[in-house]
Amino acid sequence: MNRIIRKVAKWWRPEPNAIGGKRRRLSLIVIPAFILAVFVIVGIFGPWMTPHDPNEQDITMRYEPGFWAGDWSHPMGTDALGRDVFSRVIEGTRTTLTFSALAIALAGLVGTVLGLMAGYFGSWVDVVVMRLVDVALSVPFILLAMVLTVALGPGFANLVIVIAFLLWAGYARQIRGETLSIKNRDFVALAKVSGVSAPRIIIRHIFPNVRHTIIVLATLQVGYVILLEAALSFLGVGIPPPTPVWGTMVSDGRTVLNSAWWVATFPGIAISLVVLSLNLFGDWLRDKLDPKLRQV
Amino acid sequence: MERLLEVQGIKKYFPIRKRGFLSRGTRWVKAVDGVDFAIGEGQTFSIVGESGCGKTTLSRLLLLLEKPTEGSVRFRGVDVNRLQGHDLKSYRTSVQAVFQDPYGSLNPRMRIGAIINEPLQACGLLTKREREERIESALKEVRLSGDAVDRYPHEFSGGQRQRIALARALATRPSVIVLDEPVSALDVSVRANVMNLLKDLQKELKLAYLLIAHDLATVRHMSDYMGVMYLGKMVERAPSEEFYSHPLHPYGQVLLAAAASRGGLECDIRILQGEVPSPLDPPAGCRFHPRCLKVMDICPREEPAFTEVGKGHWVACHLYK
Mean pLDDT of B8-34: 80
Judged by CB atoms closer than 8 Å, whether chains meet at A193 and B96 is answered as yes
B92 contacts A193? CB cut-off 8 A = yes
Task: Give per-residue pLDDT as tens, A253-265.
Answer: 888 888 888 888 9
Is A63 part of any domain?
Answer: no
Which residues in chain B have their CB less than 8 angstroms from residue A197's CB? 122
CB contact under 8 A, A193 and B155: no
The number of residues in chain A equals 296
- In this predicted structure, the answer to whether residue A158 has a pLDDT above a threshold of 60 is yes
Q: Is B105 in contact with A190 (Cβ distance < 8 A)?
A: yes
pLDDT digits (tens, 9 = 90+) for B59-117: 999 999 999 999 999 999 899 998 888 889 999 999 999 999 999 999 998 999 999 99
Give the tens place of pLDDT for each residue, A47-106: 887 888 888 888 888 888 888 888 788 888 888 888 888 888 998 898 888 989 999 999
pLDDT tens-digit readout, B28-59: 888 999 999 999 999 999 999 887 788 999 99
* Alpha carbon separation from B89 to A49, B6, B80, B85, B129 (Å, rounded): 62, 19, 11, 6, 21
Q: What angle do CA A216, A221, A224 make, to 5 degrees?
A: 155
Cβ of A196 within 8 Å of Cβ of B122? The answer is yes
Chain A residues contacting B, CB < 8 Å?
A: 127, 185-187, 189-197, 200, 204-205, 208-209, 291-292, 294, 296
pLDDT at B258 over 80: no
ipTM for this model: 0.88
Q: Which of residues 167-196 of B touch A (CB under 8 A)?
A: 168, 172
How many domains does chain A fold into?
Answer: 1
Residues 69-88 of B with CB under 8 A from A: 88
Give A185's contacts in chain B (Cβ within 8 Å). 104
**Residue bearing the bigger pLDDT, B2 or A79:** A79
In a domain, B320, yes or no: no
Option in B21, B60, B123 nearest A195 (CB): B123
- Asked whether residue B321 is assigned to any structural domain, the reply reads no
Task: Compute the average pLDDT of residues A2-30.
Answer: 58
Q: Which chain B residues are closer than 8 Å to A209 by Cβ?
A: 107-109
Angle at the Cα of A36 (from A49 to A254), degrees rounded to 5? Answer: 75
Mean pLDDT of chain B: 87
Query: Of the ranges A7-16, A71-80, B37-46, B306-315, which one carries the lowest mean pLDDT score?
Result: A7-16
Residue A14 inside a domain? The answer is no
Q: Which residues of A touch B106 (CB under 8 A)?
A: 187
Backbone angles phi, psi at B18, to 5 degrees: -75, 165
Q: In this complex, do B104 and A186 lie within 8 Å of one another by their Cβ atoms? A: yes
The answer to whether residue B139 sits within a structural domain is yes
- Chain A environment of B172 (Cβ under 8 Å): 194
Q: Is residue A79 part of a domain?
A: no
Check CB contact of B31 with chain A, cutoff 8 Å.
no
Contacts 24+ apart (CB under 8 A), B258-262: B258/B216, B259/B215, B259/B216, B259/B217, B262/B217
Binned at pLDDT 50, 70 and 90, residue B267 comes out as very low
> Is A122 contained in some domain?
yes
Which H helix or E strand runs over A109? helix A85-121
A179-196 residue pLDDT tens: 999 999 999 999 999 989
Contact B259, B243 (CB under 8 A): no
Domain for residue A100, yes or no? yes
The answer to whether position B84 is within a domain reads yes
Residues A70-89: b if buried by 16+ CB within 10 A, e if exposed:
eeeebbbbbbebbbbbbbbb
pLDDT (tens digit per residue) in B142-169: 999 988 999 999 999 999 999 999 999 9
Looking at the complex, does the CB of residue B93 fall below 8 Å from at least one CB of chain A? yes
Asked, for residue A46, whether it belongs to a domain, the answer is: no
Its domain, for residue A275, covers 86-293
**Domain that includes residue B281, residue range:** 3-315
Residue B78, in any domain of the structure: yes
Identify the residue with better confidence: B47 or A28: B47
Chain A to chain B Cβ contacts (< 8 Å): 67
Instruction: Return d(Cα B80, Cα B64) in angstroms, integer.
Output: 8
| Chosen from B107, B110, B123, B173 to mutate, greatest number of chain A CBs within 10 A | B107
For residue A29, being part of any structural domain is answered with: no
CB A83 within 8 A of CB A56: yes
Q: What is the CATH number of the domain that holds A207?
A: 1.10.3720.10
User: Does some domain include residue A32?
Assistant: no
Distance from CA of A193 to the nearest CA of B (A): 6
**Closest partner CB to B109 (pick from A127, A208, A296):** A208
Instruction: Enter the pTM of the model.
Output: 0.81
Whether A195 sits inside 8 A of B152 (CB atoms) is no
Integer Cα distance of B259 and B238 in angstroms = 18
- Which CATH number fits the domain that encloses residue B216? 3.40.50.300
